[in-house]
Amino acid sequence: MVKVANRSIEAFLGAPGAGIVAVLVYGEDNGLVRERAARLAAAVVDDANDPFRVAEVTAAMLKEAPTRIFDEMAALSLTGGRRLVRLGGAVNGNCAAIQAVLDDPAISATDSFLLVEAGTLAPRDSLRKLFETSTRAAAIACYLDDGRALEALIVEIMGHRGLQVEPSAMAYLCSHLGTDRQITRSELEKLALYKGQNGGAVSLNDAEANVGDGAPMARDDVALATASGDQAGLDRALMKCRAAGESPIAILRAVFRHLERLHLLSLKAASGGDLGHLIKSHRPPIFFKHQPLVRRQLQDWRPRRLAQALAILIEAELDCKTTGVPADAICGRALIRIANAARPRSGR
């Protein structure tokens, strides 16, 4: 049973380990899925585009030829060396084809390697269970970069280019990046190139001028409007998110992260902490333009009510994945419930 822990992922990507025939890379961060899959591919073959050692399979192909993965894994490399078989866009319905590979001892990890990429998978999904319970397979989860992980990534990428990031710029970047690892890297590379030409530490003006403000800002607007009970603002922000192609689950998680932050701050304030200091010193930093609104929200909400709101969001995400009801409708209802709860300013 191999579920690769976060602390072990870096080492695993460079050397998947003896006896591992197949690896599933999955998660909500599509960019990070692609990045980690590319690193695994590089650990198996020198050239991921070599047609003699690499075979690309899709879920659509498996509908036409269910044994395609098995046949590719059993084939010999015409030029010698380990063979790589890649399955993209995998779903639960592909489990039988993958199981046949894992069950055949004649398919050796020294001869062939199966690399499977998938989107978000719940713990109960059969594809995820298959890889987590097999002794010849492993699963790597790719979660969104947020919180301290996102701040550390920004420091790492900019630091490699000899750049420091001012606190206000860091807060802005943390608010506008993190939903896709490749997009995050691309935006930071663009910012680093700009600063390489202009010199000095990365300022808020630099960040605002170089990092896009599309879907991430719209998700921020949804979270802020929901916690403020601003129904009109919530409707506008949801329209922006949908126009940008944001998934309901990504929206729910953005609101969850914001309310989770409020919950943590409210607990610290209830223990005697100074609210202004708590907001300014919070990590990852809160964008300074949002700080006055966050302060008002903390004055309106109490820890118990925030915990109830977080439970609503968890239930909504689960319903999106399991009920078959349109996810947009589930998301909208959950956010309206929380926004309505935010409007009365007494009795909390």
249-262 tens-digit pLDDT: 889 988 998 999 99
Task: Give me the pLDDT at residue 146, please.
Answer: 66
Supply the DSSP string of 250-316, one letter for each residue: HHHHHHHHHHHHHHHHHHHHHTT--HHHHHHH-SSPPPTTTHHHHHHHHHH--HHHHHHHHHHHHHH
Give the rounded percent of residues in the chain with a pLDDT score beyond 70: 95
Spatial separation of the C-alpha atoms in residues 188 and 183, rounded to whole Å: 9
Nearest to 118 by CA among 145, 151, 140: 140
Average pLDDT, the chain: 87
Task: Give me the pLDDT at residue 295, please.
Answer: 93
Task: Give me the pLDDT at residue 343, please.
Answer: 65
Domains of the chain: 6-141 (3.40.50.300), 160-210 (no CATH), 215-342 (1.20.272.10)
pTM for the model stands at 0.63
Residue 19 Ramachandran class (φ > 0 left, ψ -120 to 50 alpha, else beta): left
Spatial separation of the C-alpha atoms in residues 137 and 118, rounded to whole Å: 15
Give the rounded percent of residues in the chain with a pLDDT score beyond 90: 46
What is the band of 347 on the pLDDT scale with cuts at 50, 70, 90?
Answer: very low
Angle, alpha carbons 56-58-115 (nearest 5°)? 55
308-341 tens-digit pLDDT: 999 999 999 999 988 889 999 999 999 999 999 9
Nearest to 218 by CA among 181, 254, 185: 254
Q: Of the given ranges (75-79, 87-91, 160-164, 213-217), which has the lowest mean pLDDT?
A: 213-217
How large is the average pLDDT for residues 40-58?
91
Q: Long-range contacts: 9-12, Cβ < 8 Å, 24+?
A: 9/36, 9/140, 12/138, 12/140
| Sheet strands side by side (includes 112-118) | 54-58, 83-88, 112-118, 22-26, 137-141
For residue 284, is the peptide bond before it cis, meaning its omega torsion is within 30 degrees of 0? Answer: yes
pLDDT of 52 over the 90 cut: no
109-164 tens-digit pLDDT: 778 999 999 988 888 899 999 999 999 999 999 987 766 788 888 999 998 888 99
Task: Give me the pLDDT at residue 348, please.
Answer: 43
Task: Give me the pLDDT at residue 346, please.
Answer: 42
pLDDT of 80 over the 80 cut: no
Task: Give me the pLDDT at residue 243, please.
Answer: 77
Please count the other Cβ atoms lying within 10 Å of the Cβ belonging to residue 46. 8
pLDDT of 197 over the 70 cut: no
Please count the other Cβ atoms lying within 10 Å of the Cβ belonging to residue 52. 13
How large is the average pLDDT for residues 189-216?
80
Task: Give me the pLDDT at residue 133, please.
Answer: 93
What is the band of 3 on the pLDDT scale with cuts at 50, 70, 90?
Answer: confident
pLDDT of 94 over the 90 cut: yes
pLDDT of 286 over the 70 cut: yes
The answer to whether 22 and 137 are in contact (CB under 8 A) is yes
The answer to whether 313 and 223 are in contact (CB under 8 A) is no
How large is the average pLDDT for residues 180-189?
86
Task: Give me the pLDDT at residue 265, please.
Answer: 93
